[in-house]
Structure 1
Amino acid sequence: MRQFTAVVNPTAGAATAAAALLALARHLRQEGADLRTEYSRSLAHARELAREAGRRGRVVLAVGGDGITGAVGGALSGTGATLGLVPAGRGNDFARALGLPEDPAALARVLLHGEPRPVDTIEVRSAVHDRTAVLGSVYAGVDALANRHANRSRLLKGSAAYYAGGLRAVTTWRPARYRVTVDGEEHPHTGYTVVVANSGHYGSGRVIAPDARVDDGLLDVVLIRAAPRRLFFTLMNELRTGAHVHRPQVRILRGREVCVSADRDVPYGADGEVEAALPLTARVLPGALTVLH
């Protein structure tokens, strides 16, 4: 029977995470599984807890949203340890990409009896990050600014927070001039954002890269060019289904290594957390993480 260590960040969505873990724990323990819970003080501490549990051969459960999922999964990337997800955040985009069920009993069956499968991760390097592993996507531009606003929102939750954050960001954004290099080929770009996607979802269920797969050994690079603000709001709505990819303002490239810089300070985010500013280099790590899904 599998042994689990759940890593929970009590400062981010504590009540929701605790409720999700409590509902799941009953099903795991009924089957005789060993479950221990570790409460992290920060995402950095969550990474430490995850590595230690992984070294002991335990399945590490990331309990919460994409922030802690990215931190725990990134810490386990390349270690051979197994990750399990307990989605309990505002976005849950990586769990959505894996097709994980929301029902606690169904999720318990996946965690208890599912076969561990390898998925890709993204190695991100920048001025402030030396080889950080990311699970879902890296996004540089107006969406990173919108994500920052959403994370700071105290009144709105889930998709509403991301949508309000997007509206606020777009009203103040001016197109940036990017330099995007994919597998050595340069692609000048002026616009709203550059998204380097391992997973197709970001921003609380928005389908930014419909054809992205977490196990194909490639990154999908989504470029959204400058457009009138009214059209950009339409594009935001089309992100719900992925229909935006048919717009002439949207270009999608694919490759294994992507370098992104800009003509000014442009923020970038990863796995639901706004990290730093460009430039950055992202490289796919095929099959680097083992996940139950």
Structure 2
Amino acid sequence: MIVNERSGGGRAGRQLQKVVRHLHDHLPTAELHIVRSESFQDAERSCRAAANACRDGDAVVVMGGDGMAHLGLNACADTEATLGIIPAGTGNDFARGIGLPKSVEQCVGVIAAGRTRRVDLSKVSNATYAERYVGAVVSSGYDARVNRATNDIHLRFGPLSYGYIALRELRDFSPLHYRLTIDGEERKLEAMLVAVCNTGMFGGGMKISPEADPTDGLLDVTIVHPTSRATLLRLLPMMYTGGFTKNPAVEQFRARTVEIAGDDLFVMGDGEELGSVPATVSAEADALRIFVP
């Protein structure tokens, strides 16, 4: 189990001993190794080393927020390792998207019960990464700018941080120029955002693609076409319920591959910055085995 003790404003560190006790209680014959990460790079190395060492019956468990989930799924994808997630961060969007409970104790119970399934991942390729997996959402427009700015602030308000920054960034935002290639078909358009989803949540529970299914072998794409700032302001709170999709400015469809290019764009995935465009996002079916309820 690789732990980022600083996740969730220190929540992971405060609950670590309780989690260890629960794991020992539920799995008394299991051999448990705890690795406390000192940095993002350290956690990434630890996740990959653990995944590569896994034999039949072994699991890699990550405890922290979306960043730890992102590192865990990248380490375990296309390996024999089973990934377990104990969400103790601020957003926990990938964990929510695959149906994990919010309670740390309940997530330990999910791992102890041992039920697994294979889920899809999105694979991103660009100049920064030849191959990087994303479990939740690849963002590239207004949403990416909000995500980057949220990562940069020092004062955190939990999931409200994203909403606060979203309002701040809206003041000076204007539509972006996109060049998309969707399953081989080119489209040029202006848009507020283009979100390419495996699961449909980002920003601490915003449902950018409410119908996304991480087991269908497809990407769910949400485009918000140019609209007034006032309209976008009205849509923001509706993203928590998914009701914003009824607005005529919102377009949704499914695809297997989406190539993103355009002016002044970069991509974020699972809340982490993945570099500039052009970037290709492809659906990777059954790429990850994970504990689920």
Shorter-chain TM band: over 0.9
Shift of 1:185: 1.6
Of 21, 29, 43, which residue of structure 2 is paired with 1:26? 21
What SS does the aligned partner of 1:158 have? coil
Q: Say which of 28, 32, 35 aligns to 2:32.
A: 35
Moved more, 100-109 or 276-285: 100-109
Give 1:140-289 correspondences, 5 Å limit.
140-262=140-262, 264-289=263-288
Query: Deviation of residue 70 (structure 1)?
Result: 0.7
* Cα separation, 1, equivalents of 2:237 and 2:9: 30
Whether 1:74 and 2:74 are equivalent positions in the alignment is: yes
Gaps of 5+ in 2: none
- Residues in 2 aligned to 1:267 and 1:164: alpha-carbon distance in whole angstroms: 21
CA distance in 2, matches of 1:88, 1:157: 15
**Is the CA contact (8 Å cut-off) linking 1:198 and 1:212 kept in structure 2?**
yes
- Secondary structure of the residue aligned to 1:172 is coil
Q: Is the 8 A contact 1:198 1:220 kept in 2?
A: yes
Asked if structure 1 preserves the Cα contact closer than 8 Å seen for 2:221 and 2:252, the reply is yes
How far, CA to CA, are the matches of 1:67 and 1:127 in structure 2? Answer: 21
User: Deviations for 1:249-279, whole angstroms, at most 9, x for unmatched residues?
Assistant: 01012111110111x2212210011232222
CA contact (8 A) 1:80 1:289 kept: no
Name the TM-score, length of structure 1 as normaliser: 0.93
Match of 1:91 in 2: 91
Classify 1:229/1:183 alpha carbon distance in 2 versus 1 (closer, same or farther; 3 Å).
Answer: same
Choose 97-106 or 81-90, whichever is displaced more. Answer: 97-106
| Separation of aligned partners in 1, 2:107 and 2:72 | 18
- Counterpart in 2 of 1:3? none
Matching residue's letter, 1:8:
V
What amino acid is aligned across from residue 22 of structure 1 in structure 2? Q
The corresponding residue for 1:115 is 115
Paired residues of 2:7 and 2:90 also in contact (CA < 8 A): no
Moved over 3 A (4+): 10-14
Q: Percent identity?
A: 34
CA distance in 2, matches of 1:123, 1:108: 28
**C-alpha contact 1:182 1:254 (8 A) present in aligned 2:** no
**Matches of 2:46 and 2:163 in 1, distance apart?**
33
Residue 54 (structure 1) aligned with residue 74 (structure 2): no
Whether the 8 Å contact between 1:189 and 1:223 is mirrored in structure 2 is no
TM-superposed deviation, 1:10: 4.2
Return 24-33 or 160-169, whichever deviates more: 24-33
Aligned equivalents of 1:274, 1:11: Cα separation in 2: 19
Flag structure 1 segments of 5+ consecutive residues without an equivalent: 1-5
Report the residue type matching 1:245 in the other structure: T
Aligned length: 287
Q: Give per-residue Cα distances to partners, 1:62-83, cap 9 Å, x unaligned.
A: 1111111111211211112110
Of Structure 1 and Structure 2, which has the larger fraction of its residues in strand?
1
Question: Secondary structure of 2:91's partner?
Answer: coil
Q: CA deviation at 1:47?
A: 2.4
Q: CA RMSD in A?
A: 1.5
Task: Choose 58-67 or 117-126, whichever is displaced more.
Answer: 58-67
Q: Report the Cα distance in structure 1 between the residues aligned to 2:65 and 2:108, rounded to whole angstroms.
A: 18
Tell me, in whole angstroms, the C-alpha distance in 2 between the residues paired with 1:178 and 1:20: 44
- Give the structure 1 partner of residue 10 of structure 2: 15
Which residue of the partner structure matches residue 102 of structure 1? 102
- What CA deviation, in whole Å up to 9, does each residue of 1:110-162 have, x standing for no partner? 10113221011111001111111111110001111111121122223222100
Structure 1 position 179, deviation (Å): 1.2
